[in-house]
């Protein structure tokens, strides 16, 4: 087993990995940028190294600097978390070249899955349904030809794409030219790779994914499925395990298919195969994430496995101790991602100082939180500050418990999407599981900001009382100051008078 693991990340995921290491009695090395000296992950780690200035290109993405710290710190393994370098094959390769264990799959696998066209080809060959689409296309004419086969609308996508960048929807032939130019230039500038392909556009599919664990000895199991259809700006905000969309048969099927896919690439470690599910319950491979997911915690709760520990053990060469038939899901888990953002201002990020923080607690509540009361949310990084993971005996209990927990959650100083989560959790379509990736666009814009004020009098009275107290504190400060000043003033006045009197005396 490893003696010391460097965590090449920050925020809640760094804290989460530190916790796992501590429970395994492995020392942890945190890296931090100049903006993160006071961050929670620095406080919780055993070792901490400054790695560079605030911009992530100079700190959390600076491979050379991080490798330097790995060597200096004596760490024998690196956990990349998610985001930053988690799917960077150069980093994984540099680790290997330096005889440091990269906790994740091999650079070759990262490369294969990072290239969307190659990944599609591998999966297709392994007998896994993929979204109908093309090979790499080299001209507008090729796009037109492929479009005729697949039909409109379709998505034009960068082969090296990801994270909602480098893609355009094309509704008709005359949109091909502008889309082609836009995607090509975005692909070149964002990914340094101008290749593109097209994919059939599925109308409001559901987003389903399967969690995979594989060891170095050829054993592959799946830890069931998750649904992540509640998204805004292509970003997941609520995830569930198990996926409400799947029935028993579809569940067994998609699990089996996912293992097939993981085997096809010789996968090792924790990974996720993402699928789109259409209205006819057909699913199509979308992409594979070769790392821990943000939403891994819902799976952990339902299958009862600490996935970060499993990653570490697999990376150390251990055999997976579980058989597929021993993995049995119990109950239902939901995760709400807590963002520092203002849902009423179009989800604008809201960095700043967290003046107050109270987390919800009690049965079935898990907090994975990367901040603390008094902490700064820096402007340089992702605005996700915490995750709230709720378990219930079934989906209904989980929803009701999530509402209860969100109500206990208090964040002061910055705005968050907690009220927005409340709105989703109260939505009838969410409650019955009737949603897809278009849910927020369809529903949130329509109903707009809720102007419902059930406790108007209480809120108004509270504001007035708070104002009264503020006024009083101000007055008290002035009074207190006044009191000491007065006594000092009297004293000084007395002295001046005495001096003057003395002067007059002299003169007399």
Interacting residue ranges for a copy of itself, rule: CB under 8 A: 15-16, 19-20, 22-25, 44, 297, 300, 304-306, 330-331, 358-359, 361-369, 372, 393, 397, 400-401, 404, 407-408, 481, 484-485, 488-489, 492-493, 496-497, 500, 504
Which residue lies nearer to a copy of itself by CB, 202 or 297? 297
In the complex, what is the shortest distance from the CB of residue 377 to other proteins, in angstroms, rounded to a whole number? 9
The entry of other proteins, a copy of itself, none near residue 485 (CB within 5 to 8 angstroms by kind) is a copy of itself
Instruction: Map residues 361-390 to x or -, x wherever contact with other proteins holds by CB under 8 A.
Output: -----------xxxx---xxxxx-------
469 is a site residue for other proteins (CB under 8 A): yes
Which residue lies nearer to a copy of itself by CB, 2 or 91? 2
Euclidean distance between CA atoms 24 and 9, whole angstroms: 19
Instruction: Report the residue from 1, 23, 43, 171 that binds other proteins according to the rule CB under 8 A.
Output: 43
Euclidean distance between CA atoms 70 and 78, whole angstroms: 8
Q: Counting beta carbons within 10 angstroms of the beta carbon of residue 260, is it exposed (0 to 12), middle (13 to 18) or buried (19 or more)?
A: middle
Three-class DSSP category at 12: helix
Q: At what angle do helices 63-73 and 89-97 cross, to 10 degrees?
A: 30
In the complex, what is the shortest distance from the CB of residue 335 to other proteins, in angstroms, rounded to a whole number? 18
**Can 291 be counted among the known catalytic residues?**
yes
Catalytic residue, from 291, 301, 337, 366: name it: 291
Euclidean distance between CA atoms 378 and 340, whole angstroms: 10
Q: From the CA atom positions of the chain, what is the Rg in Å? A: 28
Which residue lies nearer to other proteins by CB, 356 or 502? 356
The entry of a copy of itself, other proteins, none near residue 352 (CB within 5 to 8 angstroms by kind) is other proteins
Which residue lies nearer to other proteins by CB, 46 or 144? 46
What residues between 192 and 251 interact with other proteins by CB under 8 A? 233
Q: Which H or E run contains 176?
A: helix 176-191
Which whole-number Å values give the CA distances from 238 to 333, 357, 370, in the listed order? 11, 21, 18
Euclidean distance between CA atoms 19 and 297, whole angstroms: 13
Q: Torsions phi, psi of 242, nearest 5?
A: -75, 165
Q: How far apart are the first and last CA of the chain?
A: 96
In the numeric block, the tokens 């929807």 are attached to 169
CB contact at 8 A, 414 and 340: yes
What residues between 427 and 466 interact with other proteins by CB under 8 A? 451-466
Write the CB contacts of 332 (distance below 8 Å, at least 6 apart in sequence).
240, 241, 242, 302, 391, 392, 393, 394, 395, 397, 398
Three-class DSSP category at 400: helix
154 is a site residue for other proteins (CB under 8 A): no
Euclidean distance between CA atoms 478 and 482, whole angstroms: 6
The entry of other proteins, a copy of itself, none near residue 400 (CB within 5 to 8 angstroms by kind) is a copy of itself
Euclidean distance between CA atoms 342 and 413, whole angstroms: 12
- Choices 191-199, 278-286, 388-396, 407-415; region in contact with other proteins by CB under 8 A: 407-415
Instruction: Map residues 163-192 to x or -, x wherever contact with other proteins holds by CB under 8 A.
Output: ------------------------------
Which residue lies nearer to a copy of itself by CB, 149 or 330? 330
The entry of a copy of itself, other proteins, none near residue 365 (CB within 5 to 8 angstroms by kind) is a copy of itself
346 is a site residue for other proteins (CB under 8 A): yes
Q: Closest by alpha carbon to 72, among 102, 36, 29, 38?
A: 29
475 is a site residue for other proteins (CB under 8 A): no
Q: Closest by alpha carbon to 79, among 91, 68, 71?
A: 91
HSE, side-chain direction, 13 A CA sphere, residue 225: 29
Instruction: Report the residue from 162, 331, 419, 433 that binds other proteins according to the rule CB under 8 A.
Output: 419
342 is a site residue for other proteins (CB under 8 A): yes
In the complex, what is the shortest distance from the CB of residue 11 to other proteins, in angstroms, rounded to a whole number? 12
In the numeric block, the tokens 């992530």 are attached to 56
Instruction: Report the residue from 1, 23, 38, 502 that binds other proteins according to the rule CB under 8 A.
Output: 38
The entry of a copy of itself, other proteins, none near residue 453 (CB within 5 to 8 angstroms by kind) is other proteins
In the complex, what is the shortest distance from the CB of residue 169 to a copy of itself, in angstroms, rounded to a whole number? 39
Q: Closest by alpha carbon to 128, among 257, 268, 14, 289?
A: 257
What residues between 73 and 92 interact with other proteins by CB under 8 A? 73
Active site residues: 291
Q: Which residues bind other proteins (CB under 8 A)?
A: 30, 37-38, 42-49, 72-73, 233, 342, 345-352, 355-356, 358, 372-375, 379-383, 403, 406-407, 410, 412-413, 415, 418-419, 422, 451-471
């Amino acid at each position: 087993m490893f003696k010391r693991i460097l965590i090449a990340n920050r925020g809640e995921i760094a804290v989460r990995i530190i916790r796992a290491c501590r429970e395994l009695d492995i020392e942890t090395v945190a890296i931090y940028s100049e903006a993160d000296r006071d961050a929670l992950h620095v406080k919780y780690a055993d070792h901490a190294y400054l790695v560079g200035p605030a911009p992530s290109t100079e700190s959390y993405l600076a491979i050379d600097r991080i490798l330097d710290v790995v060597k200096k710190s004596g760490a024998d393994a690196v956990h990349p978390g998610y985001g930053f370098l988690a799917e960077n094959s150069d980093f994984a390769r540099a680790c290997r070249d330096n005889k440091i264990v990269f906790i994740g799959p091999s650079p070759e696998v990262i490369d294969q899955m990072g290239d969307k066209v190659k990944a599609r080809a591998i999966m297709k060959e392994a007998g896994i349904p993929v979204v109908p689409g093309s090979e790499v296309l080299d001209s507008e004419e090729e796009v037109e030809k492929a479009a005729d086969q697949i039909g409109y609308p379709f998505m034009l996508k960068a082969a090296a794409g990801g994270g909602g960048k480098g893609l355009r929807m094309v509704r008709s032939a005359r949109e091909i030219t502008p889309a082609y130019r836009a995607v090509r230039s975005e692909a070149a500038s964002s990914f340094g790779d101008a290749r593109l392909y097209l994919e059939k556009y599925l109308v409001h599919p559901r987003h389903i994914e399967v969690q995979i664990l594989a060891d170095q000895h050829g054993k592959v199991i799946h830890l069931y499925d998750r649904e992540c259809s509640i998204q805004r700006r292509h970003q997941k905000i609520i995830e569930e395990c198990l996926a409400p969309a799947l029935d028993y048969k579809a569940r067994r099927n998609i699990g089996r298919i996912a293992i097939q896919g993981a085997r096809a690439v010789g996968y090792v470690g924790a990974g996720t195969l993402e699928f789109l599910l259409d209205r006819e319950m057909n699913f199509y491979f979308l992409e594979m994430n070769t790392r821990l997911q943000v939403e891994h915690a819902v799976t952990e709760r339902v299958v009862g496995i600490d996935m970060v520990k499993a990653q570490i053990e697999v990376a150390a060469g251990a055999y997976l101790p579980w058989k597929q038939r021993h993995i049995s899901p119990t109950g239902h888990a939901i995760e709400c991602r807590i963002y520092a953002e203002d849902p009423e201002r179009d989800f604008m990020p809201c960095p700043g100082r967290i003046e107050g923080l109270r987390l919800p607690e009690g049965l079935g509540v898990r907090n994975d939180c990367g901040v603390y009361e008094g902490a700064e949310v820096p402007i340089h990084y992702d605005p996700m500050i915490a995750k709230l993971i709720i378990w219930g005996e079934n989906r209904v209990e989980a929803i009701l418990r999530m509402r209860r927990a969100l109500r206990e959650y208090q964040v002061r100083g910055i705005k968050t999407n907690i009220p927005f989560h409340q709105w989703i959790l109260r939505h009838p379509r969410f409650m019955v599981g009737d949603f897809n990736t278009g849910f927020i666009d369809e529903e949130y814009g329509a109903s707009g900001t809720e102007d419902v004020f059930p406790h108007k009098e209480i809120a108004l009275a509270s504001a007035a009382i708070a104002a009264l107290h503020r006024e009083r504190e101000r007055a008290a400060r002035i009074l207190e100051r006044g009191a000491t000043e007065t006594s000092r003033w009297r004293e000084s006045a007395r002295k001046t008078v005495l001096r003057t009197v003395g002067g007059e005396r002299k003169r007399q």
